[in-house]
């Protein structure tokens, strides 16, 4: 794998490392999440191999054929969520089998001239330690050791590999409750700002291609309005991007059945609902891309397929993806197995596959970057 990584570096050296982050982000097109796979975790798994964890949540072992099949629908970016604590030693040493397995999957992506986004995902929820005074120091210790090891192992990968600081765990209701405003907002944001700064410092201090690597920083709760807040402070670095997630309206994009906080919506697509997407994404572009020169990655969006009208799913996916691209944002659909059939290597709903093929053709023609 080391030799492979070096060859990848040589093959792509100078191709986009010289680009601004805005220019680089335009290469990403639109993306797909390898969800419920390498981030599968839980004490109940009690596995001894990476394969036992990778398949624990019902998806098959990832193959290069899968990545090629996803690419055939027009996707140019694959987000790879990872639970690094699986098989980890007590001193936070990452199991070399896991490092090598993730590198193998990243290799599938970059070998096919695609971009890989690799993160620390939920990972058993240890990010809650940051909000506990007696555990905060230990949280930074683990975070530092994890990213130091990742940076070293993946340092020779080309610019087609992007590191992402964390997933959605950058918010702490016990520090500041976003719903009732109880607690200290400044302290909560300072925690995330410090984590993101630590992340940048670790990667930039490492070797190989990491001093120049494009990095993706999680927004506060990866929420739109929470991230478009003056309390969210971006590190000073010219190769950074920001990640937000889009599951709006949550009654359609999250709920499969009624909950105590909302009634499950089976349909979506009124003029007002479409306009809400346009409004949200235009604000994101203005705030980050236009005013601050920071690219935005919609790291996750999507819907369940249970108790949803198929036509509404089609319209939602197409509207979110096409609007994001129109406003120079990179949309990466969350797929835990509900859309793409990873065993038969095709979309379960052919209409969804056609939506993405058509979007890719339009995007590539408009940007003159077709492969």
Residue 367 tokens read as 């940007």
Query: Could you tell me if residue 179 is inside a domain?
Result: yes
Query: Could you tell me if residue 288 is inside a domain?
Result: yes
Query: Could you tell me if residue 370 is inside a domain?
Result: no
User: Where residue 70 sits, what CATH number does that domain have?
Assistant: 3.20.20.80
The per-residue pLDDT for 366 is 85
Secondary-structure percent of the chain, ordered helix, strand, coil, rounded to 5: 45, 10, 45
163, 209, 327, 335 from 204: Cα distances, Å: 12, 9, 30, 31
Confidence of residue 75 (pLDDT cuts 50, 70, 90): very high
Q: Annotated catalytic sites, by residue?
A: 168, 300
Cα three-residue angle 38-39-42, rounded to 5 degrees = 120
Query: Could you tell me if residue 371 is inside a domain?
Result: no
Query: Could you tell me if residue 338 is inside a domain?
Result: yes
- Asked if residue 10 has pLDDT above 60, the reply is no
Q: How far apart are CA 158 and CA 160, in angstroms?
A: 5
Query: Could you tell me if residue 271 is inside a domain?
Result: yes
Confidence of residue 16 (pLDDT cuts 50, 70, 90): low
This prediction's pTM: 0.95
Query: Could you tell me if residue 359 is inside a domain?
Result: yes
Mean pLDDT for 127-136 is: 98
Instruction: Count other Cβ atoms within 10 Å, centred on residue 283.
Output: 14
Range(s) of the domain holding residue 98: 2-365
Confidence of residue 368 (pLDDT cuts 50, 70, 90): low
- Give the total number of structural domains in the chain: 1
């Amino acid at each position: 794998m080391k030799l492979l990584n070096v060859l990848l570096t040589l093959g792509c050296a100078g191709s986009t490392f010289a680009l601004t982050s805005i220019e680089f982000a335009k290469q990403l097109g639109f993306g797909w999440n390898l969800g419920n796979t390498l981030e599968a975790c839980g004490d109940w798994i009690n596995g001894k191999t990476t394969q036992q964890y990778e398949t624990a949540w019902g998806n098959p072992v990832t193959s290069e054929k899968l990545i090629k099949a996803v690419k055939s629908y027009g996707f140019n970016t694959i987000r790879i969520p990872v639970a690094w604590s699986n098989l980890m030693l007590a001193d936070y040493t990452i199991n070399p089998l896991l490092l090598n397995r993730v590198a193998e999957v990243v290799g599938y992506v970059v070998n096919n001239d695609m971009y890989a986004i690799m993160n620390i995902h939920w990972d058993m929820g240890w990010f809650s330690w940051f909000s506990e005074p007696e555990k905060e120091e230990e949280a930074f210790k683990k975070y530092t050791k994890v990213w130091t090891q990742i940076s070293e192992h993946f340092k020779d990968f080309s610019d087609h590999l992007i590191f992402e600081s964390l997933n959605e765990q950058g918010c702490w209701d016990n520090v500041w409750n976003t719903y009732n405003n109880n607690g200290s907002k400044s302290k909560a944001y300072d925690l995330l700002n410090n984590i993101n700064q630590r992340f940048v410092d670790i990667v930039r201090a490492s070797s190989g291609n990491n001093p120049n690597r494009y990095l993706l920083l999680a927004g506060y709760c990866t929420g739109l309005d929470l991230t478009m807040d003056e309390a969210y402070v971006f590190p000073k670095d010219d190769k950074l991007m920001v990640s937000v997630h889009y599951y709006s309206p949550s009654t359609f994009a999250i709920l499969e059945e009624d909950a105590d906080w909302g009634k499950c919506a089976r349909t979506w697509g009124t003029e007002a609902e479409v306009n809400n997407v346009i409004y949200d994404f235009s604000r994101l572009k203005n705030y980050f891309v236009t005013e601050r020169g920071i690219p935005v990655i919609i790291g996750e969006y999507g819907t369940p397929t249970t108790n949803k009208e198929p036509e509404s799913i089609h319209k939602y996916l197409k509207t979110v993806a096409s609007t994001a691209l129109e406003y120079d944002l990179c949309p990466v659909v969350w797929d835990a197995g509900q859309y793409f059939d990873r065993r038969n290597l095709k979309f379960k709903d052919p209409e969804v596959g056609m939506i993405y093929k058509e979007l890719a053709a339009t995007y590539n023609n408009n940007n003159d970057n077709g492969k």
